[in-house]
Amino acid sequence: MLADWLVVCLAASLPWSTSLTGIFAGLWLLTVLQTLTREDYRQAFSRPAGYLIIALVGVAALGTLWATVPWHERLDGLDTFVRLLCIPLLFAQFSRSDRAGTVMIGFAISCAVLLAVSWAGYFGLDLSPVLRAGGIPVKDYIAQSAVLTVALLFFVRLSTDKWAAGQRRIPVALALLAALCLLNIFYVATSRTALVVTTSLLLLFGFRQFGWRGAAAMLAAVVILIGAAWPTADFLRTRTVGFVEEVQTFSPEGRATPAGERLEFWRKSLGFMTEAPVLGHGTGSIRAQFKKAAEGQTGMAATIAANPHNQLFAVGIQIGVVGIAILIAMWLSHLALFASRSVAGWMGLAIVLQNIAGSMFNSHLFDFTHAWLYVVGVGVAGGAVLREAARVAHSNSES
């Protein structure tokens, strides 16, 4: 099925190119809309995991009516919500397709290539004039750490499954790939959010698979890797130790720092939401609110932002606590979808938890790479889980 292979290409493009992602997403959408039946649409949007997305996008669409910014800004704001509608379409597609595993493998292979290129660049090898040097060949360290975290969790799960099946060489190779992903986050793509999220998800994986002993073993492995990397990972030490200093020295009029800017954005965001708590200032109004608040200010307080670096604030400023309540309900419905112990269930759960945790410090559902990572990950894994559930229900009915 062409639509399936376009999703494979879409997933494989995520670590590398926003342009290719956009192209494959457009081609996939044009293709899949022609293949889905009325019943497919009904089933996809009748579940909480589907209709809560419609509710969120619907409130955002209504929010364009009470926004006071130009219409192009309102539509730009709405666009960040609209891509979420692709998730139920992916539910419908992969609840009847058996290629969800192919999508995951395509993404993992793409991440493995990115990992190799990143390490080559980190050690000074110039592989292509198109790629940047220094270990971040494309995009930025936040996007790179996010995709490598998902790949790491996939490699870890496959490694344990293969080991349990009695294989030995493949699990060792997969575990090595996972360790290289984690070390890349330590040495190269050092995101403080990713460090916390990755460690937490690895502990959850250990507990989910093997109980408290598994969590303890995973914690010991992470501590050993951090301990081994700490003396030589200069950027890791700087990012970790610097966070405390940035928080302690925070002042709205002071020098801009990553942690300081977040604190300032959050302080202002609370003020914006207090002014319009229920329905917000309207879709697309974030930048206008920050621009208004920056007038006559100095230092970090004078920064004009279009991103409050918190998903709850990014929604709440625009469509108030109504939007926040729907967003939280959507996240919870997606978590409930992935109770399955399968690979798809684990990957879906990990992607939702990564998004929730990361969205406390960033507006990940509105960031291009992170948003499509969530859309594709939740959509494909959700479709696979629904397919599994339907197959089990059919087997039980026959017996």
Three-state secondary structure readout of the chain: CHHHHHHHHHHHHCCCCHHHHHHHHHHHHHHHHHHCCHHHHHHHHHCHHHHHHHHHHHHHHHHHHHCCCCHHHHHHHHHHHHHHHHHHHHHHHHCCCCCHHHHHHHHHHHHHHHHHHHHHHHCCCCCCCCCCCCCCCCCCHHHHHHHHHHHHHHHHHHHHHHHHCCCCHHHHHHHHHHHHHHHHHHHCCCCHHHHHHHHHHHHHHHHHHHHHHHHHHHHHHHHHHHHHHCCCCHHHHHHHHHHHHHHHCCCCCCCCCHHHHHHHHHHHHHHHHHHCCCCCCCCCCHHHHHHHHHCCCCHHHHCCCCCCCCHHHHHHHHHHHHHHHHHHHHHHHHHHHCCCCCHHHHHHHHHHHHHHHHCCCCCHHHCHHHHHHHHHHHHHHHHHHHHHHHHHHHHHHHC
Digit-coded pLDDT (tens) for 231-276: 777 767 776 766 666 666 666 666 667 677 788 888 899 999 999 9
Distance of CA 33 to the CA centre of its chain: 25
User: Are 308 and 265 spatial neighbours (Cβ–Cβ below 8 Å)?
Assistant: yes
Rounded to 10 deg, the angle between the 286-294 and 71-82 helix axes is 130
Question: What's the pLDDT at 255?
Answer: 67
pLDDT at 249 (0 to 100):
64
Low-confidence ranges of the chain (pLDDT < 70): 235, 239, 241-256, 258, 394, 397-399
**Residue length, the chain?**
399
Confidence (pLDDT) at 375: 97
User: Dihedral of the CA atoms 242, 248, 251, 255 (nearest 10)?
Assistant: -20
pLDDT at 244: 64
| Sign of the dihedral through C-alpha 356, 361, 366, 367 | negative
Alpha-carbon span 113 to 110, nearest angstrom: 5
Distance CA 50, CA 43 (A): 9
Q: HSE (CB half, 13 Å, CA atoms) of 75? A: 3
Q: Is 191 exposed, middle or buried (0-12, 13-18, 19+ CB in 10 A)?
A: buried
Residue 370 to residues 11, 192, 355, 356, 366, Cα–Cα distance (Å): 12, 16, 8, 11, 8
According to the model, what pLDDT value does residue 254 have?
61
Using alpha carbons only, give the angle 194, 329, 191 rounded to the nearest 5 degrees: 10
Q: How far is CA 253 from CA 220, 247, 271, 291, in A?
A: 42, 14, 17, 16
CA 21, chain centre distance (Å): 15
| pLDDT score, position 125 | 82
Q: How many Å apart are CA 56 and CA 335, to the nearest integer?
A: 17
CB atoms within 10 A of CB 46: 11
Residue corresponding to tokens 């932002």: 305
